[in-house]
Amino acid sequence: MNKPLLTIGISLALSVPLAAQAGAKEDFNEVYAKAQSTHQDAGNFQWTTTTDRMKAAKTSAESGDYDKAASMARQALKLAQESVAQRKQQQEAWRNAAIGN
Amino acid sequence: MLKAKVILVALGAALAMPQALAGATPEEDRKETVEYFKQMFPDVPLEEFVNGQYALNEDRRKQWESMQDFPPYEFAVAEGKEMFETPFANGKTYASCFENGGIGIRQNYPYFDTEKKEVITLELAINRCREANGEEPLRWKKGAIASISAYMASTSEGKPINIEVPDDPDALAAYQDGKEFYYSRRGQLNFSCASCHVQNPGKWIRADFLSPALGQPSNFPVHRSKWGELGTLHRRFAGCNNNVRAEPLPAQSEEYRNLEYFLTYMSNGLPVVGPATRP
Amino acid sequence: MSAEEDCVMRKGLISVCLTTLALSATAPVFAEPTQADIDRGKELAFSRKDGNCLACHKMDDGKLTGNIGPELVDMKTRYPDREILFKRIWDETQFNPMTVMPPFGRHMILSEEEINRVIDYLYTL
């Protein structure tokens, strides 16, 4: 991040990182919420790896590292989307492997 | 659609099997499953399947046999007997909740309760008995409940598993639900229960030897060396789900009870051998 | 930094990156792998939390290997087309729906870059 100019008042200098922080936080919140709802959509086909990434995202957010938190949440979202795809696919595909069906 | 015969053809075994109809009955499923495993392991006597990997691997069997003089679950069974016979605060005992006083009935569990419209496992019945008598329920996966269940199983040793799917659409739905669970791929690793225990029993997955689906629930609760103690079937379900990176479901959840219902039905006629030991 | 990490790091590019990943889920043109690439590939192949290939495949000097899948030998002869090998590791269910081999790429068990390192290593077998 660019160093704020000295001529800019100290309050403004503080507000720059705060504003950036706010953007990252918003970004995180949005992705995290989406990951969470997609993870729910997986029903009883949830993946532990999704849960792990969600936890890691939350931990990073709590420590204020919203960039890392958002990155973890994005990974969680992608994993959750695959688990939902698996759930949908298995609704029919399970029969292909079943004895007596 | 892939059937036993397709899997077997893939394995190089020729098999003439009638085309199963969609919506096969539980009994047709069971017969076809038995046939499948017989063809896969022609030298293994049917009742031996309850011994899982020990039925299929001579080295493992020898190690197992050497443990039989002092089985590690003996103390837990004695403890379970004592708990089973100790009266609740109201003076009643577990015996009051079960047919035949709870002795020699393991082979009938799980059953479908047509009034409550749900599968009742032995562990669920144990905890419901406690609650009906004003006691706190036990934790599901290990400890006291596994000891009591182990004692009850020991009183049924050798009795043939006798699971019924009554003529009731809800019972059939519970069975089908369990079957679907067994064959559905789950988790990031994309394994179903059947991926290992129908498609690959008798093979090694790293240092673990895969047991066949047939006879699988018969030896529970089980003392695993890995656990160093007894655990219930639902503890094992959760462990398997976790291994394939699928979020485990709660012990005694409807899904796991239905799964147990299907899986145990497949083993009808095979003897109860629980508690037993496994690596 | 791998392509995937790059995607993850950048904001607002998710959909673009996902598309790119899907389209580029084939092996691009390859330079000769370095020994470091091969070593990394072996590490990924052997590690339980990454490839864990030994769970099912006998290979190289791996100990206590499983026998669900075929032994991994003569890989260059068996898979002269690197792109095919990549696709099979990415998602073997596309080739054999009954396989129990995890779809390493599709399920994000390994990244595209990681699969390529594993292939660098497999081609030494």
Whether B178 maps to a domain, the answer reads: yes
* Chain A CB contacts of C97 below 8 Å: 93, 96
pLDDT value, residue A19: 58
**How confident is the model over B214-241, as pLDDT tens digits?**
999 999 999 999 999 999 999 999 999 9
Q: C22: closest CA among A78, B250, A97?
A: A78
Nearest to C103 among B190, B196, B199 (CB): B190
Domain boundary among B154, B186, B216: B154
Greatest C-alpha distance within chain A:
79
Nearest to A74 among C8, C97, C107 (CB): C8
Q: Hey, are the CB atoms on C108 and A79 less than 8 Å from each other?
A: yes
Told to judge if B193 belongs to the known catalytic residues of this protein, a careful annotator would answer no
Domain boundary among B104, B126, B154: B154
List alpha helices for chain C, DSSP H.
3-9, 14-23, 35-46, 75-78, 82-90, 112-122
Across chain B, the runs of DSSP E, i.e. the strands, are 111-113, 118-120, 204-205, 208-209, 222-224, 229-231, 276-278
Question: What are B209's strand-pairing partners?
Answer: B204
* Domain containing residue B241: CATH number: 1.10.760.10
**How confident is the model over B23-51, as pLDDT tens digits?**
589 999 999 999 999 999 999 999 999 99
pLDDT value, residue C4: 41
Q: Say yes or no: B114 and B192 in one domain.
A: no
CA–CA distances in Å: residue C106 to residues B10, B19, B266, C51, C87: 26, 34, 34, 14, 10
Compare A18 and C92 and report the one with higher pLDDT.
C92
pLDDT value, residue B66: 85
Asked if A12 and A4 touch (Cβ cutoff 8 Å), the reply is yes
Q: CA-CA distance, C104 to C89, in Å (whole number)?
A: 6
Q: Say yes or no: B113 and B242 in one domain.
A: no
Q: Does residue A65 belong to the interface with chain C, where contact is any CB pair within 8 Å?
A: no
Give the DSSP letter string of B217-254: GGG-SEEETTTTEEE-HHHHHHHHHHHTTBPPPPTT-H
The two structure tokens encoding residue B237: 């379900």
Q: Hey, are the CB atoms on B206 and C54 less than 8 Å from each other?
A: yes
Q: Say yes or no: B133 and B9 in one domain.
A: no
Confidence band for B63, pLDDT divided at 50, 70 and 90: confident
The two structure tokens encoding residue B90: 């109201």
Burial class (CB in 10 A: 0-12, 13-18, 19+), B69: exposed
Indicate if ipTM > 0.85: yes
Q: How many CB pairs under 8 A join A and C?
A: 21
Whether B243 maps to a domain, the answer reads: yes
Q: Hey, are the CB atoms on B192 and A97 less than 8 Å from each other?
A: yes
pLDDT value, residue A100: 84
Whether B268 maps to a domain, the answer reads: yes
Domain boundary among B129, B154, B179: B154
Sign of the alpha-carbon torsion through B265, B271, B272, B277? negative
Q: Hey, are the CB atoms on C108 and A96 less than 8 Å from each other?
A: no
Confidence band for A17, pLDDT divided at 50, 70 and 90: low
Asked if B186 and B241 touch (Cβ cutoff 8 Å), the reply is yes
Asked if B275 and B222 touch (Cβ cutoff 8 Å), the reply is yes
**How confident is the model over B169-215, as pLDDT tens digits?**
999 999 999 999 999 999 999 999 999 999 999 999 999 999 999 99
Residues A2-29 have a mean pLDDT of 62
Residues 6+ apart with CB under 8 A from B129: B94, B96, B97, B98
Amino acid at B237: F
Residues 6+ apart with CB under 8 A from A66: A21, A24, A25, A27, A28, A60
Q: Does residue B29 belong to the interface with chain A, where contact is any CB pair within 8 Å?
A: yes
Looking at the 3D structure of chain B, how many domains does it have?
Answer: 2
pLDDT value, residue C12: 37
Looking at the 3D structure of chain C, how many domains does it have?
Answer: 1
Residues 6+ apart with CB under 8 A from C50: C43, C44, C109, C110, C114
Domain that includes residue C59, residue range: 3-122
Q: CA-CA distance, B6 to A96, in Å (whole number)?
A: 10
Domain that includes residue B136, residue range: 74-154
Q: How many CB pairs under 8 A join B and C?
A: 41
Whether B160 maps to a domain, the answer reads: no
Asked if B258 and B201 touch (Cβ cutoff 8 Å), the reply is no
Q: Say yes or no: B107 and B180 in one domain.
A: no
Residue A37 has pLDDT above 70, yes or no: yes
Q: Say yes or no: B266 and B232 in one domain.
A: yes
Report chain C residues touching chain A, CB-CB < 8 A. Answer: 8-9, 11, 14, 18, 97-98, 106-108
Question: What are B208's strand-pairing partners?
Answer: B205
* Domain containing residue C105: CATH number: 1.10.760.10
Q: Hey, are the CB atoms on B203 and C102 less than 8 Å from each other?
A: no
Q: Say yes or no: B102 and B194 in one domain.
A: no
